[in-house]
Amino acid sequence: MPRFWNALGDIARRKHSIGIQSKLLIMLLSVSVISVLITGAIGYRSGTDSLRQAEFDRLTQLRESRAREITAFFTNVADSATVITHGATTINAAREFTEGFEQLENAPLPEGAEPRLDAYYQDVFAPRLSSSTGRTADPAMFEPAGNAARYLQSMYTVPAEGDTDAAIAMVDAGDPSPWTQANKRYQSFFGDLTTRFGFEDSLILDTSGNVVYSAYKGVDLGTNLDDGPYKGTVLTDGYQQMMQATSVDDTLITDFERYPASFDLPTAWVLAPIGAGNAITGVLALQISIDEINEVMTGDEGWNRDGLGDTGETYLAGADKVMRSVARKLVTDPAGYESDVINSGTDPAIAKRQIAVGGSILLQPVDTPAVNAALVGEHGVRIERDYSGPTSLVAYGPVDIPGLDWVLVAKIDEDEAFEPVNDFARDIALSTAAIVLVICLLSLVLARVFTRPLKVLSDAVREVSSGNLGATVPVRSKDEFGDLAAAFNDMSASLQTKQQLLEQQQQENEELLRTLMPEPVARRYRDGEEIITTDHRNVSVIFAEVIGYEEFAGTLSSTESLGLLNTLIDEFEAAAELRGIERVRGLRNGFLATCGLVVPRVDHAGRTVAFAIELSKIVQRFNARHNARLALRAGIDSGPVSSGLIGQKTMMYDLWGEALDLAHRVRSATGDPGIFVSDRVRSNLSGMYSFIDAGTVQGVDGTESVWVLTVRSDDE
């Protein structure tokens, strides 16, 4: 055994020291990891720089490409306006619509036109404008005052009830006016021009500022830009500039502005003078489509296809540092967009407004360093936090569109832009980890082969410490490990034998303890209590003894006598267990027992009397078997008793108290056999059994009556 513990001590000392294998493992890992880290750091630095520059170059190319596309879009729109205004169709249409409009100034309004017009502005236009602006619109501010405007709108605008498809399809209102005749001739041309080129509307304005024609017959038809409801708009400013143009080849593109006639939607115009030579007879105003601009700036929502990944976008911004095109995330994830821009400082009301109208033009602020730099004419790239929060790679620059102070920004989230760099770093990290892992695995395999016997022995020691004393380990070698395993097996077997002997002795002690006292008392004794006593308020106590056994045993040998007595006592104990009677201690020819002591019972008196009757029957059967003349004498009382362990060295479980004393006295009241009970027992059981007065005994409180049970024939 000492050899085993010495061996374990050697193992423990070696466990806390660094062995040769551990030192070799440390050296291999150090060299490999350091070399890989140096190589990876160099590769990461050069790769990061080149990939970063490549991403900036790609973003710059995308910005330039978008700038060319949007510039080409506006150039084409302006050129188209110039070509259209030079055509005879437009020149003639301007003249005829102007003449027809002038004649309507004095024409009577159709019957019912006034209430229909009032109802349209009250019930259709004003509610829709209020819904778009979020403010209550007063219809009186927009309803035209001029006779010609009211005539045209009652005949063309009101019947369409805001339906643009119905409005542009209306060619003939059914009236004989010259204006309607002109509309019948030219509506198909201008309607096709508007829809084919994607304009929101096409207007013809005369030299007095009157809107003498509208392709969609909107609420601006017939109004005057100088004194009508839409004066002061960018359309008015553009018209005035075109009327002062020195050539009919001039064009003007306006910035976006909220235009009430289009229900407060952002509106931009391209205007061109109408006329031949230097004579300007009117102005053509083409309302540029927001969708067309957004289609260019989003690549028809093909951001991924254009190389912008999941977070990139290009957008326009004006001199007021507000967007002039739609934000990507507003299209793809409105809820996420709202949360992002609010967290980045955008007014929540503005953010919610963008969600409501589905657009960010003239709403989303983009006051970023990139936009500010582009507005002063700079081109460049930088990394900065954009309007929606994330740090982004940004390429910026002004847009060369005559008349517009706009800039274009191309951006993509830094995390996504540098994802190739991260992938490269991850590959290096994984390669390093793989090399280190291979080295570790090889070293660990060799170490485990060498230390496997120690691990097996260590596991067996843990088993023994957890209680499995029979654990053994196989002896597979003849070296020190084999000697250590054999010593362990000897120790384990020795411990198991001792444990088995200890458990056997403990079991015997438990059984002996249960014969000396009830289980609850034994439990308290095992728990270490020194003074164990319990007061019981109401239990039944029986003293039972067999009379005449000494005379009967006198004819028998001591062995036979003891054997028959044990048989009789065993039957008594079996009857006690059946009736729920608790044996306290044995007497010379009987025993002391209780009912309701360990297990409380409300019928303890009845059980005790029934038990006494059963004892009488057992004695009678014994007499019949052995031709004996034994008799039973028992005393029963109910009342308070105390129980507990008496003595320190030679402990004994015993009872004491009034009920015990009285039960002892009543059994000796006459000296005759029988079942004697106290007055308390008789009172409780008088309805179940018959009792005869057997005299009196002296009790604690004076004289006590004693009664003897009259056993009925069915009890015998």
Structure tokens at 420: 């190739």
Model pTM score:
0.59
- List the Cα angle 344/345/346 in 5-degree steps: 105
Cβ–Cβ under 8 Å, residues 706 and 666: yes
**CA separation (Å) from 715 to 385, 579, 594, 595, 603?**
104, 15, 21, 20, 19
Q: Between 267 and 307, whose confidence is greater?
A: 267
Q: How far apart are CA 407 and CA 705, in angstroms?
A: 122
Q: Is the pLDDT of residue 360 over 80?
A: yes
Structure tokens at 541: 């106590």
Q: Is the pLDDT of residue 714 over 50?
A: no
Determine the pLDDT at residue 227: 92
One-letter identity of residue 65: S
Residues 6+ away with beta carbon under 8 Å from 29: 436, 439, 440
Residue 624: burial class (beta carbons within 10 Å; 0-12, 13-18, 19+): exposed
What is the mean predicted confidence (pLDDT) over 130-151?
91
If one looks up domain 87-288 in CATH, what number appears? 3.30.450.20
Q: Is the pLDDT of residue 291 over 80?
A: yes
Per-residue pLDDT band at 650 (split at 50, 70, 90)? low
88-104 and 20-86 helices, crossing angle to 10°: 70
Calculated CA dihedral for residues 246, 251, 253, 259, nearest 10 degrees: 80
Q: Is the pLDDT of residue 429 over 90?
A: no
Residues 6+ away with beta carbon under 8 Å from 227: none
- Extended beta strands in 335-414, E state: 380-385, 391-398, 407-413
What is the mean predicted confidence (pLDDT) over 451-470?
68
What is the mean predicted confidence (pLDDT) over 340-357?
93
Residues 6+ away with beta carbon under 8 Å from 2: none
Spans of all domains in the chain: 1-75+425-516, 87-288, 293-417, 524-715
Determine the pLDDT at residue 458: 65
Nearest to 217 by CA among 236, 191, 238: 191
Determine the pLDDT at residue 270: 97
Determine the pLDDT at residue 582: 86
Q: How far apart are CA 341 and CA 322, in angstroms?
A: 13
Nearest to 167 by CA among 102, 262, 264: 262
What residues pair up with 154 in beta bridges, in sequence order?
none
What is the mean predicted confidence (pLDDT) over 93-106?
95
DSSP conformation letters of 105-118:
TSSPPPTTHHHHHH
Cβ–Cβ under 8 Å, residues 201 and 173: no
Cβ–Cβ under 8 Å, residues 576 and 597: no
Determine the pLDDT at residue 601: 86
What residues pair up with 381 in beta bridges, in sequence order?
395
What is the mean predicted confidence (pLDDT) over 661-681?
78
What is the mean predicted confidence (pLDDT) over 399-423?
88
Q: How far apart are CA 208 and CA 105, in angstroms?
A: 13
Structure tokens at 7: 């061996």
Dump pLDDT digits (tens) for 227-242: 999 999 999 999 999 9
One-letter identity of residue 217: K
Give me the residue label for tokens 């604690």. Answer: 700
What is the mean predicted confidence (pLDDT) over 246-252?
91
Q: Does domain 293-417 have CATH number 3.30.450.20?
A: yes
Fold held by 524-715: Alpha-Beta Plaits (3.30.70)
**CA separation (Å) from 381 to 66, 384, 394, 401, 466?**
15, 10, 5, 21, 69
Q: How far apart are CA 635 and CA 619, in angstroms?
A: 16
Q: What is the mean pLDDT of the chain?
A: 84
Per-residue pLDDT band at 513 (split at 50, 70, 90)? low
Nearest to 271 by CA among 84, 71, 96, 69: 84
Q: Is the pLDDT of residue 713 over 50?
A: no
The 10 Å CB-count burial string (b at 16+, else e) for 166-175 is ebbebeebee
What is the mean predicted confidence (pLDDT) over 441-470?
67
Q: Is the pLDDT of residue 414 over 70?
A: yes
Dump pLDDT digits (tens) for 176-201: 999 999 999 999 999 999 999 999 99
Cβ–Cβ under 8 Å, residues 461 and 472: no
Q: Between 23 and 625, whose confidence is greater?
A: 625
What is the mean predicted confidence (pLDDT) over 688-706?
82
- 524-715 has the same fold as 87-288: no
Cβ–Cβ under 8 Å, residues 625 and 506: no
Give me the residue label for tokens 């967009």. Answer: 337
Per-residue pLDDT band at 347 (split at 50, 70, 90)? very high
Q: Between 141 and 511, whose confidence is greater?
A: 141
Per-residue pLDDT band at 446 (split at 50, 70, 90)? low
DSSP conformation letters of 564-603:
HHHHHHHHHHHHHHHHT-EEEEE-SSEEEEEESSSS--TT
Q: Is the pLDDT of residue 472 over 70?
A: yes
3-state DSSP assignment of residue 271: strand
Residue 112: burial class (beta carbons within 10 Å; 0-12, 13-18, 19+): exposed
Q: Is the pLDDT of residue 590 over 80?
A: no
Determine the pLDDT at residue 526: 73
Q: Report how far Cα 379 is from the mean position of its chain's Cα atoms.
A: 46
Determine the pLDDT at residue 443: 63
Per-residue pLDDT band at 514 (split at 50, 70, 90)? low
Q: How far apart are CA 544 and CA 547, in angstroms?
A: 10
Structure tokens at 683: 């009172």
Per-residue pLDDT band at 69 (split at 50, 70, 90)? very high
One-letter identity of residue 384: E
Q: How far apart are CA 694 and CA 708, in angstroms?
A: 6
- Quick one: what percent of the chain has pLDDT higher than 90? 44
Phi, psi of 137 (to 5 degrees): -100, 135
Q: How far apart are CA 133 and CA 116, in angstroms?
A: 24
Determine the pLDDT at residue 161: 85
What is the mean predicted confidence (pLDDT) over 4-17?
51
Per-residue pLDDT band at 340 (split at 50, 70, 90)? very high
Determine the pLDDT at residue 698: 77
Q: How far apart are CA 431 and CA 183, in angstroms?
A: 76
Determine the pLDDT at residue 232: 92
Determine the pLDDT at residue 6: 53
